[in-house]
Amino acid sequence: MSKKKLTVYDMLQLKGKKQIHDVYVNNVEEAAAAEEAGIDMIVSAYGMPQHGIYGTFDDIKRIREAAPNTHLMSAAPERSFATADEAVRAAYKLLSIGCDSFYTNNSSEIIKALKRERVPVVSHVGLIPGHANWIGGFRAIGKTAKEAIDVLEHAMELDDAGAIALEVEVVPSKIAEIITKKVKLLTISMGSGSLCDGQYLFSQDMLGYNTGHVPRHSKIYRNFKKEYDKLHNERVAAYKEFVNDTENKKFDDPKITVSIDDREYDQFLKLSDKI
């Protein structure tokens, strides 16, 4: 029996009752595995190489098909829209293929426009990678009272604008707890402790195959890099064997070739001599 996909209504009902699990998936295999594991929400995006996201819009379609019973949040390429109307179009494009919610770290004015058009929006506070230039790079946000108040006010502004959830990234857990209590929306922690409404991690970190910077707040559950290295070595060995078999003419095994009756072959030779 397949599980029930969480609607926006269902998710909001879980606030304060159940921790929501949320993972970023990069391909159909991870999406299918997340659904089988019972993950509440998966995330995938496309066209943002600056954030290590190289997939295409068609990849999002395939991920949707691979996990039809899991809430899927997706995002349009960062800075691919600049106005509320463009944001709605970008969101509709994703909703039209079955995505359930839309991520944007844009202003509350754009989020209000999306809410008016009934687009479920997930936004972001704290360390927002797309705003790194404004906050001094990739660092914890909210370690001073002034900065913590700014994060809280930002969260409340986005709540008032109609967002359904916020990624709360690298904010002190005590601050994240207060934010969670003061907003109606869901707070999803990434490096902000267990006092939010849920947790969010990237599959490449969880599965141990991230070849770039591994965030301090990530949690590694398996070492896929070791397995991928083993697979790579086996691929190379297989290709080398193919090269050897080709150069030594080892492709006449009856198991992989077809034959012709001797009488038919003799007839062929007679006919071929006339050509």
pLDDT of residue 243: 96
Per residue in 183-212, pLDDT (tens digit) is 999 999 999 999 999 999 999 999 999 888
How many percent of the chain have pLDDT more than 70? 99
- Where do the domains of the chain lie? 8-222, 228-273
**Catalytic hit among 157, 169, 234, 247:** 169
The CATH architecture of the domain made up of 8-222 is Alpha-Beta Barrel (3.20)
Return the structure tokens found at 153. 């006010």
Classify residue 108 as exposed, middle or buried by CB count within 10 Å of its CB (0-12, 13-18, 19+): middle
Mean pLDDT of 32-36: 97
1: pLDDT strictly greater than 50: no
Distance of alpha carbon 193 from its chain centroid, rounded? 21
Task: Give per-residue pLDDT as tens, 139-186.
Answer: 989 999 999 999 999 999 999 999 999 999 999 999 999 999 999 999
- 169 has catalytic annotation: yes
Instruction: State the pLDDT at residue 50.
Output: 86
Single-letter residue type at 146: K
**What is the structure's pLDDT at 136?**
87
Q: Which pair of structure tokens corresponds to residue 247?
A: 């150069």
For residue 14, give Cα distances in angstroms to 132, 143, 152, 168.
Answer: 32, 29, 21, 17
- pLDDT of res. 3: 76
Residue 110 Cα distances to 2, 55, 81, 123, 253, angstroms: 36, 25, 10, 11, 66
Query: Per residue in 221-239, pLDDT tens?
Result: 999 999 999 999 999 999 9
Residue 216 has pLDDT above 90, yes or no: no
Give the 3-state secondary structure of the chain. CCCCCCCHHHHHHCCCCCCEEEEECCCHHHHHHHHHHCCCEEEEECCEHHHCECCCHHHHHHHHHHCCCCEEEEECCCCCCCCHHHHHHHHHHHHCCCCCEEECCCCHHHHHHHHHCCCCEEEEEECCHHHHHHHCCCCCCCCCHHHHHHHHHHHHHHHHHCCCEEEEECCCHHHHHHHHHHCCCEEEEECCCCCCCEEEEEHHHHCCCCCCCCCCCCCCCCCHHHHHHHHHHHHHHHHHHHHHHHHCCCCCCCCCCCCCCHHHHHHHHHHHHCC
- Which residues are 201's β-sheet partners? 23
pLDDT on residue 2: 62
Please indicate whether residue 187 or residue 132 has the higher confidence score (pLDDT).
187
